[in-house]
Structure 1
Amino acid sequence: MPPYGQNVAMTRPVLRTTPLAMKQFFLTMLGVFAGMFLFLVVVPFIFIVIAIGAASSEEPTPRNTVLELDLREGVTDQAPNNPFAVFGGSGLSTLQIVDTLAQAEDDDRVKVLLIRLPEAGITPAAADEIRQAIRRFRASGKVVLAHSQGFQPVGATVSSYMIGASASELWMQNTAGFQLAGFSAESIFLGRAFDKYGVNAEFEQRYEYKNAVNEFTQSDFTPAHREAMSAWMTSIYTSALANAAQDRKTTPAALRAAIEAGPHSSAQALQRRLIDKIGQVEEAEAEAKRRAGRNAEIMEFSDYASSQGERGGSGRNAIAIVGGEGAIMTGTGGGADPFGGGSSIMSDDLAEALYDAIEDDSVKAIVFRVSSPGGSPEASEQILAAVRAAKAAGKPVVVSMGDYAASGGYWISSEANWIVAQPSTLTGSIGVYGGKFVLADALGRFGVDMRNLSIGGDYADAFSPAQDFSPAQRAAFAAQIDRTYEEFIARVATGRRLPPARVREIARGRVWTGAQARQIGLVDQLGGLEEAIGKARELARIPAGDSVRFKRYPEARSPFEALSEAFGVSGEAARVLVGIGGVMNDPAAEATVRRIQTERARASGASVLADQPY
């Protein structure tokens, strides 16, 4: 009997269709219709939304304008270069706020800034930079009103209050509570839970202050963990109180006593001169419009920012502003979600941006904005090599640290010509950790058996979650961790011109604030992007009277480029869309999934520099 499906008729062809072929046919047809729907409906809709947004952003600014800056949705450090990030909830960035306020200072139409304060905390370094921009705005002779619907005892609320204190007047809603009384932060320790459920966390850390490991292995703060965390929290709290006291025209001691006597009602806060007025936000808006002048109108900050665009500057000399935010990983692209607001530093992309700035003859210096808790040592070294190349090309590199530049974030900053950080930037964390979770016992309690097979040398299955490290594997892995730590020490010693012994003394994985880091030689200057630009001009020997242009890298991607990345590289995009119905049978789609999984694995791999303190 002939095999099933084989045509044996010699005179008339017979087509026999298997169930699998029928299934594939319907999946293909479904994919075709899905692809047509995406191309003919979804993609045009996205472009229409972008066009409408662009058109609305071009509305003229009223003659008497009140800019309303709402900080309640949080801010990122840098604006994403993905045009679809807005669909993922991406709002304003610290750098966009600073840049826009700098333009508003010189805009005669903008008379007043109204700030809506968050009830909880804001990242301390972002608060530092926004406060500095507000003070420059006020110095131009313009009014700033801030309105709060309460200060909750959550996280770094003192940083939110510091922003409010920098305003000409700080308003508070009548029913709101002034519950700020200090600075608190929590850590979750999983050591007892892991012991109870049979999870074995096998990690190496260099050294005792590399505290990310402790949350997997301990049930409480170790002495070193408590010491370091208390130190940077105290530094942030003290700095915020000092800034707020300066702006409120009182002493830090008096302000601290008033705050820590709380919680307070709005009336009590007014009585203690912690705020200036009590009123609803509508009343604050009316007062802002009154101060702005006749027929004043309120304009959303994001609309004004869109209408102004980024500061371009003028002149034949340019300063490049190269930005990177998020965990540092090898590769390119920046993630799998095309509409997400999250970000990461992909080493290929950021290194390429630095090399683009190097090759641009008009660029005389580079301001490298870094906001990262760390990541892969290999990715960090690739980016640092580009920093070295810029210096070798005669283009000074000035690092401007954002919310944090710790671990790998400090690695990529360490050999810059100059480092500028905010007093509350979290930096340092010169150390490394790595390891694995052994899950065999935990799964066995639920009747799940995990077994391992490997071929090759003894180290081939070192990171199998089915078994503990063997003594030889543990020794080999510890040696690798030691090598990475020594490489980190060498780069800091070279870049900061410090003896390696001194670097080891101040390293050991410890997190420092920018203010602390300046005292021990890890940072050169306190300030933000504006101070970094000023130093870049100086190092590039651009005369003080000369105008400069700003060039930003990496350049923002076009909507087509973003879609191409989301659905496959350029020419493959259409094929992947058409085959979306049978995505699990599509090799290109499977390759994309594998790439995403690989990047996630790298982010939590065997050798990690990242240590996000809070």
Structure 2
Amino acid sequence: MKQFFLTIAGVFAGLMLFFVVLPILLIVSVAASASSDTGVPARSVLEIDLRQGLTDQAPTNPFAALGGGGLSVLNIVETLDQAEDDDRIKAVLIRLPEMGMSPAAADELRQAVDRFEASGKPIVAHSQGLYPIGASVSTYMLGASAGELWMSSTAQLGATGLSIDEFFLGRAFDRYGVQPEFEQRYEFKNAVNTFTQSDYTEAHRQAQTAWMSSIYNASIAAAAVGREMEAPALRAALESGPHSAEEARQLGLIDQIGEAEAVEASLLERAGDNAEILEFHDYASVVGERAGSGSDAIAIVGGEGAIVTGRTSADPFGGGSMIASDDTAEAIYDAIEDDAVKAIVFRVSSPGGSPEASEQILTAVRAAKAANKPVVVSMGDYAASGGYWISAEASAIVAQPSTLTGSIGVFGGKFVFDEALARFGVDMRHIAVGGPYADAFSVDQPFTDAQRQAFSGNMDAIYAQFLTRVSTGRDMTRDQVHEVARGRVWTGAQARRLGLVDEIGGLFEAVARAKQLAGIDADADVRFKRFPKPQSAFEALSEVFGVSGEAAQALVAIGAVTRDPDAQAVLSRIRTERARAGGASVLADQPLG
């Protein structure tokens, strides 16, 4: 009976796809073609609105961009690169977010702004205010890099420093009878402190203050260059705020006061007769991804989000990203097998995750190097903990000065709820068969001494493996690695001084290093190949309509009628998520996520 209902569900899914969703896709496709046919006005002012949110990399599912929502750092960087040489693009306007943005993203965009400005075209930033929340100083740094920085007349400039808030649940857990049982390696692996403490430990406070100071000082220094001021003077002016727009102008912190429409009018006038505002999404859809040219290719392998085992199994209409080990390793192996690919740039933006998944990806990196294809890691917002594990043995590592990296450590454990539930009249019991470790992760009892000893040994073993990976990849002794490890988070600038990073920069610098390591002349043109390849619409829809074999077969059958070759791949792309209870995690704090 169950199989019967699954089959009916599959047929229903196929019919929905054929009669409802497929026409929608065709309409969207026609609309996109019409947009492409319209082209780009001969005189355009390209407008980039950062207020709608920002990811590091563009999603691979085909529905994420519907409705024009969301931007990615890499898409902006590569599209601005194309706009530099596009005679139709006469100027660029950047709309800044009011809240703080990721420091590493701001750094990468600042570098792209500097390259665009060197082309001689005007690039202007506009702000409707900067609140003293999070990393607003990074947003100001980006705005300061533009040729002009405008601010609305009623706005305030409140980029007075860098701050974060953290919750500590130790007292609450004590009050309600929840017992956190965790192991961490070592004192700087602060992810568990949220559950076990009521305040910063000395090690936690020390590490947090150090990386925050590094990011703040780097942001001030970069903003000072953009504003053509001495860093101490700029810092004093910002910290004396918040300032009204007029006060900020008098202090030299901004250039002009006016609403966004006034900036648009100014740029349109500079662009010439009949100039038009061109939305970033429209321009990006016309020019497409940066393809490059030449006989040799550089592979760009993307990875953003938590690192998990298996394959991606996410709602293609929803948000969220992950680095699925099977998918990411397969992407690297595909790049290895491509004869045109001479080197791989592995873009990593991850706070970590599963050590097993991290090791699977690192094995693929080793395979690429063994095939004489150098791998250069380009770090985004984070490449910490498991994110550093998968990076450690790369041929070279490039990071932004404000990338959060390191966090070489491990933690794991469980919560015990028996006392908490008993207070509400709920009794939890369990039955286990097998060895004494079989019920180690039961949540109705603490670890026994033997279980604690075994689990602690597992934590030690994973930490030792992590040290070995870093020691091998960075040509350091295990003692040297342990000294800078112990779970501590570093910024890219700090990590470079410690030998954990080779170079400061973004994707462009990583590509340049990859060409160098592959023996390609620095001025030679190269093509860019991206892995993993984006999902087809049929592949994505198969995940929405069901995961049964019968449903997949129905979709394939309907797809065969439409003669769409993508539909034939559906059956092989049915995903299953594998979640591990308890165990170890190489995961870092995400204080500025």
Output the TM-score relative to the length of structure 1: 0.90
Conservation of the 8 A alpha-carbon contact between 1:374 and 1:609: yes
5 Å-filtered alignment, 1:114-133, equals 114-133=93-112
Give the secondary structure class of the aligned counterpart of 1:358.
helix
Amino acid of the structure 2 residue aligned with 1:613: Q
Seen in structure 2, the aligned counterparts of structure 1 residues 26 and 327 have a Cα distance that, compared at 3 Å, is: closer
Identity %: 65
Match of 1:561 in 2: 539
Instruction: Show CA shifts across 1:75-120 (max 9, x none).
Output: 1101011001235985111000000000000101111000100000
In the alignment, which residue of structure 2 is the partner of 1:251?
Answer: 230
Assess if the C-alpha contact under 8 Å between 1:88 and 1:339 holds in 2: no
1:344 is aligned to 2:325: no
Partner of 1:406: 384
Q: Which has the larger radius of gyration?
A: 1
Aligned-pair CA distance for 1:330: 0.4
Alignment partner for residue 308 of structure 1, among 275, 282, 287? 287
Query: Quick one: distance in 2 between partners of 1:177 and 1:324?
Result: 37
Question: Residues 37-87 of structure 1: CA distance to partner in whole angstroms, max 9, x if unpaired?
Answer: 454123432442344235324431111110000000121101011001235
Matched length:
575
Q: Which residue of 1 aligns with 2:519?
A: 541
Alpha-carbon distance change, 450 to 43 in structure 1, aligned in 2, over 3 angstroms: farther
Alpha-carbon distance change, 30 to 177 in structure 1, aligned in 2, over 3 angstroms: same
* Letter matched to residue 157 of structure 2: F
Q: Partners in 2 of 1:26 and 1:495 — Cα distance?
A: 53
User: Deviations 1:454-498 (Å, cap 9, x if unpaired)?
Assistant: 110010010011111000000000000100000000000000000
Residue identity in the other structure for 1:558: S
Matches within 5 A, 1:515-530: 515-530=493-508
Answer yes or no: is the 8 Å Cα contact 2:45–2:277 preserved in 1: yes
| Residue matched to 2:408 | 430
Matched, 1:203 2:182: yes
Cα shift at 1:248: 0.3
> How far apart, CA to CA, are the structure 1 residues paired with 2:538 and 2:9?
24
CA–CA separation in structure 1 for the residues paired with 2:179 and 2:404: 30
Is the contact made by 2:543 and 2:575 (CA closer than 8 Å) also made in structure 1?
A: no
Cα distance, 1:273 vs. partner? 1.0
Q: CA deviation at 1:566?
A: 3.4
- Please name the residue that 2:349 is paired with: 371
Tell me by how many angstroms 1:177 deviates.
1.1
Unmatched tracts of structure 1, length 5 or more: 1-20, 579-591
Partner of 2:582: 605
State how far apart, in whole Å, the 2-side matches of 1:418 and 1:431 are: 21
1:234-245 equivalent positions in 2, closer than 5 A? 234-245=213-224
Please say if 1:442 is aligned against 2:420: yes
Specify the code of the residue in structure 2 equivalent to 1:448.
Answer: V
Instruction: Find 1:483's aligned residue among 432, 454, 461.
Output: 461
Whether the 8 Å CA contact 2:547–2:574 is kept in 1: the answer is no
Counterparts of 1:470 and 1:479 in 2: how far apart (Å)?
A: 14
Q: Is the contact between residue 66 and residue 289 of structure 1 (CA under 8 Å) also seen in structure 2?
A: yes
Aligned to 1:11: none
Deviation track 1:390-428 (CA, whole Å, cap 9, x = no partner) reads 000011111100111000000000001110000000000
Distance in 2, Cα, partners of 1:536 & 1:24:
52
| Structure 2: gaps of 5 or more residues | 557-572
Distance 1:594 1:169, change over 3 A: closer
Amino acid at match of 2:436: D
Local SS of the residue matching 2:97: coil
Cα deviation per residue 1:486-526 (whole Å; 9 max; x = unaligned)?
00000000000001001000000000000000000000000
Query: Does residue 1:80 correspond to 2:30, yes or no?
Result: no
1:335 Cα deviation after fit: 3.0
Deviates more, 1:54-63 or 1:380-389: 54-63
Paired position in structure 2 for 1:166: 145
Alignment partners' CA distance in 1, 2:10 and 2:369: 51
- Indicate which of 510, 520, 531 corresponds to 2:509: 531
**For 1:383 and 1:610, how far apart are their aligned partners in 2?**
16
Residues 165-209 of structure 1 deviation map (CA, whole Å, 9 limit, x = unaligned): 011110000011112211100110000000000110000000000
Alignment of 1:260-299 (within 5 A): 260-299=239-278
TM-score, L = length of structure 2 = 0.93
Q: Kindly indicate whether the alpha-carbon contact (under 8 Å) linking 1:68 and 1:115 is maintained by their aligned counterparts in 2.
A: yes
Task: Say which is worse superposed, 87-96 or 461-470, in terms of deviation.
Answer: 87-96
Q: Show CA shifts across 1:126-176 (max 9, x none).
A: 100000000000000010111100000110001111111011110000011
Q: Secondary structure at the match of 2:366?
A: helix
The one-letter amino acid of 2:582's match is G
Any idea what SS the aligned residue of 1:115 has?
Answer: strand
Report the residue type matching 2:333 in the other structure. Answer: Y
* Partner SS state of residue 608, structure 1: strand
RMSD over equivalenced CA pairs, Å: 2.3
1:320 maps to amino acid: A
Secondary structure of the 1:490 match is helix
* Cα pair 2:98 2:127 within 8 Å, conserved: yes
Q: Give the structure 2 partner of residue 467 of structure 1.
A: 445
Query: Alignment partner of 1:564: what SS?
Result: helix
